[in-house]
C-alpha cells in the first residue's frame, strides 16, 4: 500500500529569504552616524532586531518593510533552491508566509517566489497570519510563536505535526524544537 | 473535559462576496449590443459564467477581474456578516480565498474584508491556491474542486473534514456534498 506523501510547509522570511540581511544593510547604511559599530547577525545573538535598536528607530525598521522594494530584493538563503527542488520530488511542498502582518508585501513576495522558486506552483503558496490553519506534517519556521500555533492541535486527535526551528540570530537560545541551522541540515533531515 | 472548538474555513467569492453579480453587471453593460437578453443568475443554471459567454468574450471576463476595483466593490452576500459574527462566538473562523489564481486581487480582497468583516482578525485571513492545505473541520465553498481537495486527506488518518457546498448558479446540479443555499442555511446548520 502506498504511504501518504507527507506535506512540508516552509516559511519565507529568515528561512528561504534573507529579510534580516536586508534590514541590517539598510539600517547600518541609514544610521551609521549613530552607531559605534554596525549591527551584525552575531551581535543580535538571542535578540530580535526590534529589541536591538533604540525604541525611536523601530519605526524606521517598519518603514523598510513597507517600502515597495523591500520584499522584492531579498537574497535567497544559500542552498534553499536546490534543496527545495529535491524535497519536491518526495514531499508536498507549500510555501507559507505570515504575509497578513504586512499587507503591502503580498505582491513583492509573490513576484519574488516566481523569480527564485519558479518550480513551486502558485497554488502551493499560502499567505496567512496564524499558522495553526496549515494542514501539514512539518512546518519549517524561524518563529517559535508560529511553530507553537502549528503544533497546537497535536493533543486533539490530529496526526502528529512537528514544527522545526530554522536557526536565526533571535532564536539561537531557544529549545523545545528540532533545529536546523541551514538548508544542508534540512536536506539531511528529510532526504537522508 | 472541554471539547475542542471546531474550525470553519469560509471561501470569499460567491460565498461572502458576490463576484458573479459584479461580473454579470459589467458584462451585460459592456455587451448589451451583442445580447438578445441579459445574462442572469437563473440563465446560468448549471454553467460557470465562463461557459456561458462566447469564447472570444472570456478575455473580457478575465479583464474585469484584473481591474483595480473589481474585488474592492463586490456586494456582501445577504446575512453573511450577521451569521459570521454569530459563528465566531462558537467556532474558529478563517476566511480562505484562492486568491493566488488572481494575484492582483490580494490588496482589494484584504481591504474589502477590513471594510465589511472588521471583526475577523487579519491573522485569520488565508490567501491560498489549493485548499488541501487548510486544517479545518469544515470548508464552506461554492467550488467542488476545492471541496474535493479539502476532503482529500479524509482517508489518511486525519480527523474527518467536511466540505459544504454553498449554492451558486454553476453548482446547482451537483451532488455529493451537504449543501447550503444561503447564510440562513449556514446559521441553521452550525447554530441550531
Decide if pLDDT at A2 tops 70: no
A99·B127 Cβ contact <8 A: yes
| Distance of residue B79 Cα from the nearest chain A Cα, in angstroms | 25
Write down the residue that cell numbers 538563503 correspond to.
A77
Q: Which chain B residues are Cβ-neighbours of A132 within 8 angstroms?
A: 135
pLDDT at B156: 61
Give the cell for residue A35. Answer: 552607531
| Sequential pLDDT tens for chain B (192 residues) | 557 899 999 999 999 999 999 999 999 999 999 999 999 999 999 999 999 999 999 999 999 999 888 999 999 999 999 999 999 999 999 999 999 999 999 999 999 999 999 999 999 999 999 999 999 999 999 999 999 999 997 666 666 899 999 999 999 999 999 999 999 999 999 998
pLDDT at B68: 82
**Which residue of chain B has the CA closest to A7?**
B133
Contacts 24+ apart (CB under 8 A), A162-168: A162/A137, A162/A138, A163/A138, A163/A139, A164/A138, A164/A139, A164/A140, A164/A189, A165/A141, A166/A11, A166/A14, A166/A15, A166/A140, A166/A141, A166/A142, A167/A142, A168/A14, A168/A20, A168/A142
A124·B126 Cβ contact <8 A: no
- Quick one: which of B104, B113, B151, B107 has its CA closest to B131? B151
pTM, two decimal places: 0.95
Alpha-carbon distance B91 to A55, whole Å?
38
| Distance of residue B154 Cα from the nearest chain A Cα, in angstroms | 11
Q: Are A4 and A63 in contact (CB under 8 A)?
A: no
Alpha-carbon distance A175 to B17, whole Å?
44
ipTM surpassing 0.85: yes
B99·A127 Cβ contact <8 A: yes
Percent of chain A residues topping a pLDDT of 70 = 96
- Quick one: which of A87, A183, A182, A176 has its CA closest to A137? A87
Give the cell for residue A140. Answer: 519549517
Look at chain B and count its residues: 192
A129·B124 Cβ contact <8 A: yes
Residues in B whose CB is inside 8 Å of some CB of A read: 4, 7, 9, 94, 96, 99-101, 103, 106-107, 110, 121-130, 132-136, 153, 156-159
Q: Is B13 a catalytic residue?
A: yes
**Which residue of chain B has the CA closest to A139?**
B133
Q: Which chain B residues are Cβ-neighbours of A124 within 8 angstroms?
A: 129-130, 133
Classify the C-alpha dihedral B100-B123-A166-A171 as positive or negative: positive
Classify the C-alpha dihedral B115-B118-B120-B121 as positive or negative: positive
Alpha-carbon distance B140 to B8, whole Å?
8
| Distance of residue B125 Cα from the nearest chain A Cα, in angstroms | 6
Q: Are A98 and A145 in contact (CB under 8 A)?
A: no
- Quick one: which of A166, A106, A168 has its CA closest to B109? A106
Write down the residue that cell numbers 453573511 correspond to.
B80
Alpha-carbon distance B7 to B18, whole Å?
23
Decide if pLDDT at A165 tops 80: yes
Query: What string of DSSP letters covers B43-83?
Result: HHTTS-HHHHS-GGGHHHHHHHHHSTTGGGSPPBPTTHHHH
Give the cell for residue B163. Answer: 466540505
How many CB contacts within 8 angstroms connect chain A with chain B?
97
Mean pLDDT across chain A: 94
pLDDT at B105: 95
Amino acid at each position: 500500500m502506498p504511504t501518504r506523501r507527507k506535506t512540508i510547509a516552509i516559511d519565507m522570511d529568515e528561512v528561504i529569504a534573507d529579510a534580516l540581511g536586508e534590514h541590517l544593510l539598510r539600517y547600518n547604511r541609514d544610521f551609521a552616524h549613530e552607531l559605534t559599530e554596525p549591527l551584525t547577525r552575531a551581535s543580535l545573538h538571542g535578540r530580535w532586531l526590534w529589541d536591538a535598536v533604540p525604541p525611536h528607530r523601530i519605526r524606521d525598521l517598519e518603514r523598510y518593510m513597507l517600502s515597495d522594494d523591500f520584499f522584492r530584493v531579498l537574497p535567497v538563503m544559500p542552498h534553499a533552491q536546490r534543496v527545495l527542488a529535491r524535497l519536491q520530488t518526495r514531499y508536498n511542498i507549500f510555501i507559507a508566509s505570515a504575509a497578513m502582518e504586512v499587507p503591502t508585501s503580498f505582491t513583492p513576495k509573490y513576484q519574488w517566489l516566481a523569480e527564485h522558486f519558479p518550480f513551486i506552483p502558485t497554488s502551493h503558496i499560502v499567505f496567512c497570519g496564524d499558522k495553526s490553519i496549515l494542514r501539514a506534517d512539518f512546518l519549517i519556521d524561524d518563529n517559535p510563536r508560529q511553530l507553537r500555533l502549528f503544533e497546537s492541535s497535536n493533543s486533539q486527535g490530529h496526526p502528529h505535526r512537528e514544527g522545526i526551528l530554522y536557526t536565526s540570530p533571535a532564536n539561537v537560545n531557544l529549545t523545545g524544537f528540532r533545529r536546523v541551522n541551514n538548508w544542508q541540515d534540512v536536506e539531511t533531515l528529510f532526504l537522508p
